Structure 1
């Protein structure tokens, strides 16, 4: 079981403890890999304390000094030895039957990777407009459904080591922006690997106050639009920059009138239009907007 972490002391404590306390399928042995992407080793003391309190758990702690989520995830792959790898994020935690649900689905559907839902848990009651934007809502599907790459992410996944054949790793060109997991699983699906859904294997994601702000929601939408086009340019054609640039510009113009109207009358739905607008502007800027950051 793998977790990448970066300066989230409460998060890594809860995530790792929940994984250790989860039920294990009969006959299985489990190891826990924590990769700290902070060169200052800020998670070391927390992980060491958990190891001391759970002496029967096999917990390994590593520091990945190259900043970026791709490097941290690849370090997990390099250090893990199991036939099945799981990933959750350091702001999530699992229930007691989580791993068993994953393994049962892997076997029942002869799958190579299984994904599960991420359920938000807000630290405080969210403002009304949050629910209208859908910023913290993710798609869910019936168990056994085929998962497309757009919904294939490492925030809740179990996959067989066979996906790593021929040295496959998370692409580092997305290390600072995210999207590396979608590309990784898109390549796996194109190679014939079977990706399915398990709706029972859910994790809970803690949503802090700083993720309930308009700025966070809009920045997330912009970066998501940009990353989507970058992925399309790799998976389909570089012409995706042109196609989605034009599409994003035209759709942005369509969104401006309802945005201004709902904003003028003080309707909470204005944030839904604003989020869609920023997502489309991200598509327009995808070819020209460099750098970026991951997390937050």
Structure 2
């Protein structure tokens, strides 16, 4: 089993820490593992940092410079560079647990799934607001809908790649600045026959910067997630149905947020859910998506 781990980076020094965590991890039995880092900055700003880190690693690391400040361009470059049967996805601000890849592979072998998604758990500084820490609003965990895993994320995933019916598929460039390109991508692969599983024990952790410790940032992200989720509706009839149900849910969430006005944790929970459903409505209407990638605090 040959696996290429792809990591897109954009002006983050944390990429060195991410690579070091990969070097320290346990390697799955009977697996050959390599890493490709795709630098999406206009200049090769991460090249020296990646090279210096890789020099102290046994794990093979390849650096690619793919400018454009568009995450889809970088992700597609990673797919183009991958000549292995399997591709793993990781973000440049994450650290993997020692058994991360072992657990992804174990779950894939147990289920036969074409893609396996693990959780990305947030790590907060000591000065983060207590209600944000309790709510754990920044963690990303794939979840089934009505018992079915419809899509996933690229912050922690293992995907069957070479020789598949979807090997020619790529991340949508029009979503490369707004985000949600991974949600739409995995929806599309599922339409081509891909089957998914969740590996709860394949854990990565992500430090949450101060710029993201606000309700504004959380709602902006949830709205975008909603817009991306609307890709699950393929026909006009499905979009109308999804729009109607999401509009009702958004109204209900607004009422619950009003009831919880004095409780910041519960209020934010309901505001986030309502904003996501509002984003679904916007996505069903094909409204423009705001650029989030490549901006400060994005």
TM-score (normalizing by structure 1): 0.84
Match of 1:75 in 2: 77
When residues 98 and 240 of structure 1 are mapped into structure 2, their CA distance, relative to the original with a 3 A threshold, is same
CA distance in structure 1 between the aligned counterparts of 2:241 and 2:131, rounded to whole angstroms: 31
- The yes-or-no answer on 1:157 pairing with 2:157 is yes
1:85 and 2:87 aligned: yes
Kindly provide the CA deviation profile for residues 92-118 of structure 1, in whole angstroms up to 9, marking residues without a partner as x.
111222222222332232232222121
TM superposition shift of 1:134: 5.1
CA 1:147–1:8 in 2, change beyond 3 Å: closer, same or farther? Answer: farther
Partner deviation per Cα, 1:10-61 (whole Å, 9 max, x = no partner): 2x1111111122222344332210001101222112101112222x332111
Question: Is residue 279 from structure 1 mapped to residue 280 from structure 2 by the alignment?
Answer: no
After TM superposition, the structure 1 = structure 2 runs for residues 1-296 of structure 1, keeping only pairs within 5 Å, are: 1-10=5-14, 12-54=15-57, 56-130=58-132, 135-139=137-141, 148-150=149-151, 152-161=152-161, 162-163=163-164, 165=166, 167-229=168-230, 231-233=231-233, 236-263=234-261, 265=262, 268-286=265-283, 287=285, 289-295=287-293, 296=298
Cα deviation for residue 266 of structure 1 reads 5.9
How far did residue 261 of structure 1 move? 4.4
Return the structure number with greater helix share: 1
Q: CA RMSD in A?
A: 2.7
Report the count of equivalent residues: 286
**Structure 1 unaligned blocks of 5 or more:** none
Cα offset for 1:5? Answer: 0.8
Residue 281 of structure 1 and its aligned partner are, at CA, apart by 2.7
Q: 1:45 to 1:226 in 2, by over 3 A?
A: same
Equivalent position SS for 1:269: helix
